[in-house]
């Protein structure tokens, strides 16, 4: 379905309005796109980033710190008219903290979390 508006990190009042309305979706941070389409959107909405996209890889990496500090959400997604929503009912975790690692990680028979072959006791995080 076409997206009427993409709002990255609305303030708490606006987020509550969205929840109360009941016809909004939460962005899971998963974007799928054709690279040529995304490059065109960067060219239109973030030309200073687009200019770097065609540099040779080593030069791109060397100049990366000079790029504007802006996420794809603000640079492109809030502005593009080419996005669509694909609703999904799935479980997702960015594994961005110890709780997520504990929930999804492999454990040995004593209940230690295994990270690259090392035992980690949680929540104390004792590495053997």
Residue 111, token pair as written in the block: 């209940």
Looking at the predicted structure, is the pLDDT value of residue 20 above 90? yes
* pLDDT tens column, 84-93: 988 888 777 7
- For 81-110, b/e burial (b = at least 16 CB within 10 A) is eeeeeeeeeeeeeeeeeeeebeeeeeeeee
Q: How far apart are the first and last CA of the chain?
A: 50
CA dist 109 and 115 (Å) reads: 14
What does DSSP assign to residue 65? Answer: G
DSSP strands (E only) in the chain: 113-115, 118-121, 126-127
Predicted local confidence at residue 47, as pLDDT: 96
pTM of the model: 0.68
């Amino acid at each position: 379905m076409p997206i009427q508006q993409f709002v990255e990190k609305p303030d708490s009042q606006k987020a509550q309005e969205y929840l109360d309305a009941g016809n909004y979706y939460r962005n899971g941070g998963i974007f799928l796109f054709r690279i040529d389409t995304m490059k065109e959107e960067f060219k239109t909405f973030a030309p200073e980033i687009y200019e770097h996209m065609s540099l040779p890889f080593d030069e791109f990496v060397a100049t990366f710190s000079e790029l504007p500090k802006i996420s794809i959400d603000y640079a492109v997604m809030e502005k593009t008219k080419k996005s669509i929503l694909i609703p999904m009912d799935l479980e997702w975790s960015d594994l961005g903290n110890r709780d997520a690692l504990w929930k999804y990680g492999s454990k040995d028979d004593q209940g230690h979390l295994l990270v690259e072959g090392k035992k980690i006791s949680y929540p104390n995080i004792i590495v053997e």
